[in-house]
């Protein structure tokens, strides 16, 4: 199967030339694919192209979109969760999160996830496979088509561990930046942290993209190694102090500050002593902490920390000199919030 999604202008010009067409036909395909107003994403529907050219492309297996819409759920706050099917009958979820001035696409990088974080629904399904770059990009097209708006921001916070699919992740970022015209500075890559992969991410970013300007977000969720291992089983392979060391090196290599995601779990990591411990861990480091309220999933005993504890925790970090903010959950009533995505929708 030959998917044209993610192809550069030059690559599409070459496709046109290979079929005896003028190079501008490739540019026509390019402009059609990346214009969110074009709802038709099948080759034979690009009516600006000669009929014979369209037929030959289709007969030879060229496609723009491989995914299909299985289900959609619109939350009260306007957040849209889509369940999409792949050609091999797997399912992935992605989310469109609108505000007045922006539309953020929360994208999946894998079918399922191997990390098995105890607070996350995706890990309950296990890992089926990684997504191709075209499948990652296709999620953007579906969100734009369904919401009739151009996506302005990207967060890789959907299903999967992006750093375990690093090559296709970076290929998709290249296209998001160059083809979808979304600045790298509006892209966030969220990872639970995999040994040796943070350094690899920065090195391969410069190789593949020529620069590394996206935001790296670490799903830390703990102030010490013991707590982290309790809620993130894979943490036993990557000491929290080593994570911080590698993040400091990432900042040196890229000039970009690192964000740390911190899910507030009642009685687990939400005490002021944890705030002090986290402050000591991050002191003197160019970073930012996002505090997140826990979103309940089935078969998990964790409880959401009280809003009072969250406020006290935030104030303590701030007073200790740590940049901190509170990230409000979106799409909670449709299981579209952080940590709630999974292969099979459960209403």
pLDDT in tens, 200-239: 999 999 999 999 999 999 999 999 999 999 999 999 999 9
- Please say if 338 is a catalytic residue: yes
Q: What is the model's pLDDT at position 132?
A: 97
CATH number of 68-334, picked from 3.20.20.70, 1.20.120.1200, 3.20.20.450, 3.40.640.10: 3.20.20.70
Considering the candidates 93, 135, 161, 261, report the single residue annotated as catalytic.
93
The answer to whether 212 is a known catalytic residue is no
Where along the chain do its domains lie? 2-63, 68-334
Q: Which two tokens stand for residue 10?
A: 């030059």
| Cα angle 193, 286, 162; round to 5 | 25
**Whether pLDDT at 123 is above 90:** no
More reliable by pLDDT, 155 or 329: 155
pTM of the predicted protein model? 0.92
Q: What is the CATH number of domain 2-63?
A: 1.10.150.530
Distances (CA, A) of 223 to 235, 244, 269, 296, 316: 13, 11, 7, 21, 14
Span of 224-238, 240-254, 282-296 with lowest mean pLDDT: 282-296
Q: Which residues contact 156 (CB under 8 A, 6 or more apart)?
A: 107, 109, 162, 169, 187, 188, 189, 190
Catalytic residue among 106, 212, 287, 338: 338
């Amino acid at each position: 199967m030959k998917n044209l999604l993610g192809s550069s202008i030059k690559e599409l010009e070459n496709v046109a030339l290979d079929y005896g067409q003028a190079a501008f036909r490739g540019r026509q395909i390019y402009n059609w694919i990346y214009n969110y107003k074009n709802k038709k994403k099948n080759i034979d529907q690009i009516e600006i192209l000669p009929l014979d050219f369209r037929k030959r492309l289709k007969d030879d297996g060229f496609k723009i979109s491989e995914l299909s819409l299985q289900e959609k759920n619109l939350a009260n706050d306007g957040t849209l969760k889509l369940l999409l099917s792949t050609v091999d009958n797997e399912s992935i979820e992605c989310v469109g999160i609108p505000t007045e001035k922006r539309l953020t696409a929360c994208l999946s990088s894998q079918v399922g996830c191997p990390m098995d974080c105890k607070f996350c629904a995706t890990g309950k399904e296990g890992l089926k496979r990684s997504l191709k770059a075209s499948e990652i990009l296709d999620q953007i097209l579906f969100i734009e088509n369904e919401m009739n708006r151009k996506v302005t921001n990207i967060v890789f916070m959907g299903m999967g561990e992006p750093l375990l699919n690093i090559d296709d992740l970076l290929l998709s970022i290249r296209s998001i930046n160059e083809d979808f015209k979304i600045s790298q500075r509006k892209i966030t890559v969220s990872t639970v942290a995999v040994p040796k992969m943070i350094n690899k991410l920065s090195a391969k970013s410069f190789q593949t993209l020529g620069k590394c300007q996206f935001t790296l977000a670490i799903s830390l969720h703990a102030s010490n190694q013991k707590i982290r291992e309790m809620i993130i089983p894979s943490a036993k392979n990557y000491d929290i102090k080593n994570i911080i060391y590698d993040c400091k090196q990432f900042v040196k290599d890229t000039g970009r500050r690192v964000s740390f995601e911190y899910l507030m779990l009642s009685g687990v990591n939400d005490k002021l002593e944890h705030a002090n411990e986290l402050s000591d861990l991050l002191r003197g480091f160019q970073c930012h902490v996002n505090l997140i309220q826990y979103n309940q999933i089935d078969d998990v005993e964790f409880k959401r920390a009280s809003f009072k504890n969250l406020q006290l925790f935030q104030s303590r970090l701030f007073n200790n000199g740590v940049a901190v903010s509170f990230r409000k959950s979106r799409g909670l009533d449709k299981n579209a919030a952080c940590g709630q995505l999974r292969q099979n929708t459960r209403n």
